[in-house]
A and B are shown apart, each in its own frame.
Chain A
Amino acid sequence: MSTARTWSAGGDAGPFDVVGNRVLVGLQVVDISRLSTHPVPMISQGLVTVAGQGPKDSNGAGKSSLIAAVSLLHADEQWRLASGAAAAAELLFTAELAAQETRWSSVDRGYVIGVFADPSADTVAELSASALTVWLRINRKASHVHLRWHNGLHVPYGATESERAAGVDSLWDALPTSNGRTDFHANRLASVLYGSHVRCVSFLSTSVRSSPAANLLAQPLNDLDPRRIFDAISTLTGLDRELEQEQVLRSAEHTHRADVREATGDLDRWVQEMAVVEAGITRRVEARRLLGAAAAAWQARCARRFLDGVARTDEIQHDLKNLGVRAAELQVELSNAEDELAKLNDDEQLDRNFREVERSWKELTERDKQLDTAHQVAARRLEELAGEHRQFSDKARGADGRSVVTAQTEEADALTAVEQALGAKGVAEEAEERASKRLAAAESGEDVAAEELQALREEDIPAAPLLDVVQLDPDQRRDWEPRLVPYRGAIVIPRGRAGEARTKLAGQSGTATLVMADPPQPHAPTHSTSVPASADPRFDLSTFLSAIVDRAGAQPSEIDVAAGVLVVGEFAEPLTGRAARIAAARADHRGKADLLTKVEKILAAERRALSRAKTRTEAAAAAEKADSIVEKMSELRAANRGRDERRTALKPVLDAAHKAYAGVLGAKQAREERIGNLRSAEGRLKHELSEQDETKTKLTDERLALDLPGREAAWGDSPESAHRFLLALDAELHTRTTAWWNEETQHQVNEVVRRCFPDGTPHDEMPAEIRELLIEQRWQRGGLDVRIPLVPDLIRALLTHLNLTERHDLYEQRQIASQRAQRTGDLEAARQGLSEAEQTSQAHRASLALGIKARLKKVSDEFDRLDQRYGGYGAGLDYPEPEPPADSDRSWQWTVTPKWRRAEGQRMSGYNLRSNTAQMDEKAVKLVCAAALAGGGSRPLLLVLDELGRNLGKQHRREAVALFEQIGKDRDITVIGALQDDMERYAIEASGLYVKLRRRSDSMAYNEAPVIVGDEANRARVELLRDWLNSYRPADNESGEDTPGKGAE
């Protein structure tokens, strides 16, 4: 249909511009905000005011939602249709927003249903014939907008709200899907319904507006830049399609340009790469030439080397022959020396003689030594004996002239006398000891019954000797001492303790005499003259002494008359008391001591006699020994004299033997020296021979090392041919040596290598064979000696490599040539295409510029006219023609600057000067209208204005409303405006259709039926439409009758 939208997606195939010239005649919504489902008739020209009657004032009645639904239905770009119009979901009835969440739930989908018809249809029949019902289903979830349509009337019906709402889903389902198996979505809305013609310019209140997108009405005019203003105008006037055409051409141009750029870059890169390849090929061609030269040099080298080898072999042969002769001579000399040596070594006689002389000499020497030794031993023995003789002679002097026998007899006598004296001394000592003991006992009082007293004292029995207790006066001694003699050993004890004492003493050896004493008298003892007193107060012996007195006779010696006992004696000392007894003991002891002293003196004299006798005996023995020693010494002296004589006799024999020995020793040494000389001569000869051998081996080795067969093989022919070959070379080459040729060859081969594999070529890029030779065998690093053996292999390997690459190189060169031609051709073609495209694009742009300027001129004129007619002082547009874009993918950006006079007769000033908001809005509306009018399109236009005149003062509002009314009537423009309460009185008189949405209470979920009133001119039509819309009932056969998409095109 439109030539402009050539690139419209699927535009050729699918339905396009379904609505066409038809205008909206009725609107019905289901579950959109809180709007009721009543059909709303719509007029196609002039002003439609939408007012509200909410619970308190006009707010909350759903005015904005209604006009938003209208703008969506007219595919206003503000809904961001290309992105799916997600904001449309905001239009759906939401229980929370309606404060009805307890009774109602939010809906998932709602419907906006628009009935379009021919504006000129005035009857039901005409309306029905031209009617097109467009359904938009709005979903809460993506995809948000679905489009279906139906030729003819197809709207929800029913007597009540709920009836209409209940049937809506089945009605939707009854519609055929619009896009084959699916429905068209928001992104195709504009193109399918309106063929991308702009049918609606809107300002929507912020509550439903999706974005503050650039839009002449949606934003204050001076917020927009001139480019955006041009965009808006071009959209309204249809210029955008022309511009799109330009853009398409520019795109084509760009594509060509990109092609050219790509082809150029491609060619450059290719040329660069191929330069490397070609350089490689050139190098290899050069390498092939060099390799030929190298091979020739190598051949010459082999020939020269072969000839050299032959010459050298001959020399060696000659040398070897000479060496053989000399060796034979040396051999003869050597065998002579060896013979002589054998003879010398074989002289048995001399050896035997030497051994004989030596043995006899040694024997004689031995004998002489023995004699000498014996002589010395005898001399030493003589010295010892002389010493002994002196010793014994001295001792013999003590014998006093006695012989041994006499001396021994005297000694035995002396010994006997000593023994007798010893016996006497023993007897005297014993007697003295006994007397000494008795004296000690008497002095210590223990001489009378000492043991018994001791025992009794241990038992604490008081006891004492009787003679100590009795006290005798000198008068009484004569009578009493004899009487007390029998009781000399008696012990006094108290009478009371006699039993205990008897028991104690029962076990004792010996006898004890006990005398009972009376207990002590308390008064002083009555000293009678007859009875001795008691010396110890513990004992009273009156009873005992009285008894003894009674028994005694008249004579002192008659002590017991009755028993007839007499004591005869002289008592010089008092018997009783201790002093008497001590004196007696001391006298006895003194007598015994004197006797002992006398005996000891006798003993000492006897001992001295014995000692003298012993000494004499020893001296006599020594005299005898001295005599025997003298005898022995004279014997030894005689033996020594005999020996001396024998040595003197031996001396001449010994001297002769020594002389003979010295003679044979000299002969022996001379012979050994001779042998040594012969041996060294032999060694020298042998050494010389081995040297000869070595030289021979060396020469033979050299001959082998020359590897004549190898050299011959390398040359490959006879020596004569090699000679001829060399002669055939240039004269100056004749004299060149093998070394020179070697140098030449390796240099050339190396050149070839460098051309095939330039320095820095990674090793793994070489063929394996060459890599082995160059790297592993160290060609690259090695010197001449390393390189030369590698030359033939390397030449062969390089030849193989170059032969292999030759075909490839040829192929590649052909390829390069053909590719170059092709690529250059491609580039040329691309350039051709580009220049054509550039020309086309330029030509189109030139004509388009004229068209755009003409169109903008019309808009400017219209703007001026409208402005002057509705309260302005004149206005216009500035639209300089922009330069063509530098890059073909940059847009050709036009700008439009609106301007107007601020007062009568003033110069026009730009729109972006600060101005009052009302004026901006007014000019914006005028500009939109002017653009729509100048567009010359036959399409009706809808201006949607929420909060119409929101910034205007009283007079301005009046003018604005008049403007809309007038414009609407004059042209194919419908203005839908939502009004604030206070605008109502201006609006009612000016508007062609008045719609009042009503909701009495906040408790109501949905609105009540709206009040819809047309003005005088439209009243009949409004009624007609209302009836017609309400009259719809589906025919039985209707389903599937029409297929959308076919009828439209």
Chain B
Amino acid sequence: MTNVNAAHPVFEPILAELSEQHRDEVLAAFAAVEHSTQPVPEVQMPALRDATLRRDLQRLLHRVGRTLVPVGNARWTSGYRDDVAAELTAAGWNALPVIDRAVLVLVLIHSVAIPRSEGKLSGDSWISARPTTVSELLRYAQPGRGDVRTALRRLRAAGLVQLAPTRGRTAVGESAYLPGPQLHRLTPVARRVLQQELILAAAPQSPLAAAIRARRAHP
């Protein structure tokens, strides 16, 4: 009756096959994975829990260039499909300015790459509980401090970094950052590519890097 609740025509072919209840569940899950900052636990969403409905949700997301991304502990979120992401990147879409990317990479290196290389972090997720302090970011930063801080604010607004909860470890008054919840949206392929790029950049002589290069040379 109201247009607010009417689904977009692009979804109609899929939604039409569903019963009233399933349609509601799928739409609710769609909204949840698309708009929730954090991954959605599947216990909250029947459409995430059930494989059949999840398939419908996946099809729904597929039509808008997205895909379901499983996050450990039975949680789900959504991200760009790999082909769509590649196409968007090739077309020059990149929401972040260079400085923001640089700062984000610094945070990822400090919070994820270094702990992972030390064996303190397992899995291929880019989320970590090891904070990167601002002083660490500023110490080696070539851009100005003001630029870095602004970039951090923007990244935080975008959910790419988050403020670490203060613990005893960080000095008083110094804020520290963690990779943000939006990084959950990376698909496994995207995560792997990121990891490989980091290995190639950090240890080009390692056998791992050689393996990566061999894989890329002969896909």
- Residues of chain A touching chain B, judged by Cβ–Cβ distance below 8 Å, are 7, 9, 77-78, 80-83, 86-87, 90, 209-211, 213-215, 228, 231, 247-248, 250-251, 253-255, 269, 272-274, 276-277, 280, 762, 764-767, 808, 812, 887-891
Contact = CB atoms under 8 A, between A and B. Distances in A.
Contact of B25 (A78, A82, A215, A887): A82
B24 to A, nearest CB: 3
Interface stretch (B48-56, B151-159, B179-187): B48-56
Contacts of B44: 9
A80 B46 contact: no
Contacts of B24: 80-83
A23 to B, nearest CB: 24
Given A77-B20, A228-B19, A277-B210, A767 B49 contact: no
9 closest Cβ pairs, A-B complex: A82-B24, A254-B51, A251-B51, A889-B51, A276-B214, A889-B55, A276-B211, A273-B211, A765-B204
Contacts of B25: 82
A78 B21 CA distance: 9
A211 B1 contact: yes
A211 B15 CA distance: 14
20 contacts: A9-B43, A80-B5, A87-B1, A87-B5, A228-B19, A247-B52, A250-B51, A251-B49, A251-B51, A254-B51, A273-B214, A274-B211, A276-B207, A276-B211, A276-B215, A765-B210, A766-B205, A812-B207, A887-B55, A888-B51
B52 A86 contact: no
B22 to A, nearest CB: 9
Nearest to B205: A765
B90 to A, nearest CB: 24
Contacts of B2: 86-87
A764 B43 CA distance: 49
Contacts of B4: 86
Given A77-B21, A80-B24, A86-B5, A889 B46 contact: no
Contacts of A83: 5, 24, 27-28
A274 B51 CA distance: 33
Interface size band for B:
20 to 34
Contacts of A277: 207-208, 210-211
A888 B50 CA distance: 11
Contacts of B214: 273, 276
A243 to B, nearest CB: 10
Nearest to B55: A889
B163 interface: no
Contacts of A9: 43-44, 46
A7 B205 contact: no
B205 A767 contact: yes
B59 to A, nearest CB: 11
Contact of B207 (A7, A215, A254, A280): A280
Interface string B197-219: 00000001101111110110000
A211 B7 CA distance: 12
Nearest to A212: B1
B18 to A, nearest CB: 9
A314 to B, nearest CB: 49
A365 to B, nearest CB: 100
A7 B210 CA distance: 47
Contacts of B43: 9
A139 to B, nearest CB: 16
A812 B51 CA distance: 39
A215 B21 CA distance: 12
B32 to A, nearest CB: 12
Given A86-B5, A251-B52, A276-B210, A764 B204 contact: yes
Given A83-B5, A211-B5, A764-B205, 6 more contacts: A82-B21, A87-B5, A210-B1, A251-B50, A276-B215, A765-B209
Contact of B50 (A77, A247, A269, A766): A247
Contacts of A215: 20
A764 B210 CA distance: 12
A274 B214 CA distance: 10
Contacts of A231: 19
A83 B32 CA distance: 12
A210 B3 CA distance: 11
Contacts of A80: 5, 20, 24
A272 B215 CA distance: 7
Contacts of A762: 204
Interface string B69-106: 00000000000000000000000000000000000000
A826 B100 CA distance: 40
A89 B51 CA distance: 34
Contacts of A81: 24
Contact of B20 (A78, A90, A280): A78
Given A248-B50, A276-B215, A889-B52, A209 B205 contact: no
A812 B25 CA distance: 48
A7 B211 contact: no
A808 B207 CA distance: 10
A250 B52 contact: yes
Interface in B17-49: 19-21, 24-25, 27-28, 43-44, 46, 49
A812 B210 CA distance: 14
A362 to B, nearest CB: 97
A354 B61 CA distance: 127
Nearest to A771: B205
A760 B44 CA distance: 52
Given A87-B2, A276-B214, A255 B51 contact: yes
B19 A7 contact: no
A7 B209 contact: no
A90 B49 CA distance: 33
A560 B32 CA distance: 180
A389 B214 CA distance: 132
B39 to A, nearest CB: 17
A535 B56 CA distance: 169
B5 A7 contact: no
Given A82-B25, A762-B204, A273 B52 contact: no
A214 B20 contact: yes
A253 B21 CA distance: 23
A274 B210 CA distance: 10
A822 to B, nearest CB: 14
Contacts of A90: 1
A136 B212 CA distance: 61
A890 B55 contact: yes
A276 B52 CA distance: 39
Contacts of A253: 51
Contacts of A274: 211
Nearest to B214: A276
B78 to A, nearest CB: 17
Contacts of A890: 52, 55
Most interface-central of A250, A272, A765 (chain B CB within 10 A):
A765
A546 to B, nearest CB: 149
A479 B18 CA distance: 188
A367 B24 CA distance: 150
A440 B24 CA distance: 162
Nearest to B52: A891
A1009 B168 CA distance: 69
Contacts of B212: 273
A886 to B, nearest CB: 12
Contact of B210 (A250, A280, A889): A280
A276 B218 CA distance: 11
Nearest to A86: B5
Most interface-central of A228, A231, A274 (chain B CB within 10 A):
A231
B67 to A, nearest CB: 14
Nearest to A253: B51
A814 to B, nearest CB: 14
Interface in B116-170: none
A254 B50 CA distance: 9
A887 B52 CA distance: 9
Contacts of B208: 277
Nearest to A273: B211
Contacts of B209: 765
B49 A7 contact: yes
